[in-house]
Amino acid sequence: MATVSSVLATSSFKDTPGLTCETYKEEFELAEQLAVMNHPLGTMKLIGRGYWCKELEEIPDPPLPQALLDFIETLLIIDPDKRPVALDALRHPYLKSITAV
């Protein structure tokens, strides 16, 4: 959960909507510490923060379809009340387009 949260640029445990379970608190604290540590082999951070979609759009060849990015964004919704259940996710237009091939 902390890893997903870092990809989505959620800054801390308390900032994550819909997350009240203390089970994840330690994981979030560890992720927050890793986010400020430098990688031992370079100048990059151990856990990068930022908008995941921008990173995926920069993949040069082959470029990712916009429908795939939309599908991933749908699956990464943290709030369980807003995130689709598995059956709804399987009905996403991107999955329908690749099964038709």
**Which residue from 81, 84, 72 is spatially nearest to 20, judged by alpha carbons?**
81
At 89 the pLDDT is: 94
Closest CA to 78 of 14, 26, 18, 24: 18
pLDDT reported for residue 46 = 47
Q: So where are the chain's domains? A: 1-50, 51-101
Residue in the structure block whose two tokens are 């900032």: 15
Task: Tell me the Cα Rg of the chain.
Answer: 16
Give the three-class secondary structure for 8.
coil
Low-confidence ranges of the chain (pLDDT < 50): 1-2, 7, 13, 46-47, 49
Question: How far is CA 88 from each of CA 91, 92, 93, rounded to the nearest angstrom?
Answer: 5, 7, 10
